[in-house]
């Protein structure tokens, strides 16, 4: 009679346990989607327009991971992945593509054999959004800070109205938030009047920016909470209408320093003010939401927001770097 050794028993138990684990465990499935998107008119099938559309894919409350976006043959090709997810036959997906929301139903999925870890991969038949309506929105292509030789801070926004229709323009807001962890003792609120000039113009190959800026008085709200969110907000006013198919650049030039009637302290230390009660505008931005040495949480930091119809994206981060 063969003797059962301990290691035989252990191996046997291991095999049984593995088998039970595979039978009773959660299904390890990953679904891969490929989506192709194309505008109706050839003139809009450009990488610059497609790349501004930042795809997000949802299946109910499940958000897919966009793994690849490329532009090929005038089409935007998006690859996405849903982990631990098996679409039902009537599953409806939502694709947020720029300001558009497109819905599509699940296609048949071809499943691979489970790998050694029990994972299986399903590839869904491609989803083709062709002949889609041409873009009728304006995009915020770029938002950045510039500093002049005279230490003026300039907020430069580049807007691209690639639609065939003129755009009524948007209202520009500048804001910043940062969360404090109760390290500071003071609380301050200030309504500061800032004056900035702005330039706006159309970028063409032949001309530079025409200047027609005047000093504009705008309230700049600054709020400081020692144990909460510190932030500022400024309404920079309307851009005015933007003609069809034009790249439009607008610059807001802020003064190097602004007067402030109250001393703000950070961590018990007063914020450096100039002798005549002025604070550097960049310091204000740093306190409000732009500390470059601190890792910011989502939603924090300096942002520019555009309020209006047919504009995408409606906000952009403008870090002080």
Partner 1 sequence: MFDPKQERAADAGPVVIGVTAIAASMAAVNGFTGFLAGAPPFWLDSISTVLVSSAALVWVTRTLHVLASNRRARGRLWTARDLTIGLGAPVSTSIALIALAVWNSWMPVERCFSHPWQICGTFSSVCGNRACLLLYDARNRPIYNYCHAVADDSGFVMIKPAHWWTYQPKYGVLVCGDQRSQPFRLSSEFTASPCEAIKEF
Positions touching partner 1 (CB under 8 A) are: 40, 92, 102-105, 107-108, 110, 125-131, 133
288 phi/psi in degrees, rounded to 5? -70, -30
Q: Give whichever of 21 and 126 is closer to partner 1, judged by the CB atom.
A: 126
What minimum distance in Å lies between the beta carbon of 92 and partner 1?
8
What minimum distance in Å lies between the beta carbon of 135 and partner 1?
14
What minimum distance in Å lies between the beta carbon of 84 and partner 1?
22
Angle at 317 between CA 314 and CA 321, to 5 degrees: 155
Q: Give whichever of 15 and 110 is closer to partner 1, judged by the CB atom.
A: 110
What minimum distance in Å lies between the beta carbon of 282 and partner 1?
46
Q: What totals of helices (H) and strands (E) does the chain contain, helices first? A: 3, 24
CA 208 vs CA 196, 198, 251: distances in Å:
21, 15, 13
> Which run of H or E residues covers position 160?
strand 153-161
Q: Give whichever of 57 and 188 is closer to partner 1, judged by the CB atom.
A: 57
CA 279 vs CA 50, 239, 262, 288, 302: distances in Å:
42, 28, 10, 13, 18
Q: Give whichever of 109 and 138 is closer to partner 1, judged by the CB atom.
A: 109
Is the distance from CB of 41 to CB of 135 less than 8 angstroms? no
Is the distance from CB of 189 to CB of 224 less than 8 angstroms? yes
Q: Give whichever of 29 and 155 is closer to partner 1, judged by the CB atom.
A: 29
Distance CA 138, CA 304 (A): 15
What minimum distance in Å lies between the beta carbon of 128 and partner 1?
5
Q: Give whichever of 131 and 314 is closer to partner 1, judged by the CB atom.
A: 131
CA 130 vs CA 38, 39, 43, 84, 238: distances in Å:
5, 7, 14, 29, 35
What minimum distance in Å lies between the beta carbon of 49 and partner 1?
18
């Amino acid at each position: 009679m063969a003797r059962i050794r301990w290691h035989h028993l252990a191996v046997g138990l291991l095999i049984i346990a593995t088998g039970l684990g595979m039978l009773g465990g959660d299904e390890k499935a990953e679904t891969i989607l490929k989506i192709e998107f194309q505008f109706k008119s050839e003139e809009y099938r450009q990488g610059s327009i497609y790349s501004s559309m930042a795809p997000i894919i949802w299946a109910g409350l499940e958000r897919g991971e966009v793994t690849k976006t490329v532009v090929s043959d005038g089409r935007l090709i998006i690859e996405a992945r849903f982990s631990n997810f098996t679409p039902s036959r009537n599953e409806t997906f939502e694709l947020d593509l720029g300001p558009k929301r497109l819905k599509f139903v699940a296609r048949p999925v071809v499943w691979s054999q489970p790998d050694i870890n029990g994972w299986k991969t399903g590839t869904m038949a491609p989803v083709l959004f062709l002949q889609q309506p041409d873009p009728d929105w304006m995009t915020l292509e770029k938002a950045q800070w510039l500093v002049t030789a005279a230490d003026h801070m300039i907020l430069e926004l580049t807007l691209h109205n690639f639609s065939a229709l003129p755009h009524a323009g948007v209202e520009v807001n500048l804001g910043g938030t940062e969360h404090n962890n109760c390290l500071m003792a003071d609380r301050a609120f200030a309504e500061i009047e800032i004056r900035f000039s702005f330039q706006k113009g159309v970028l063409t190959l032949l001309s530079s920016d025409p200047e027609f800026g005047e000093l504009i008085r705008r309230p700049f709200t600054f709020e400081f909470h020692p144990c909460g969110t510190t932030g500022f907000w400024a309404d920079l006013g309307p851009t005015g209408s933007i003609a069809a198919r034009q790249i439009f650049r607008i610059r807001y030039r802020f003064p190097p320093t602004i007067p402030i009637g109250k001393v703000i302290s950070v961590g018990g230390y007063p914020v450096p003010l100039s002798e005549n009660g002025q604070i550097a505008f960049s310091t204000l931005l740093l306190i409000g939401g732009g500390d470059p040495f601190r890792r910011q949480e989502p939603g924090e930091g300096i942002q520019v927001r555009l309020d209006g119809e047919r504009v995408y994206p409606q906000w952009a981060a403008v870090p002080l770097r």
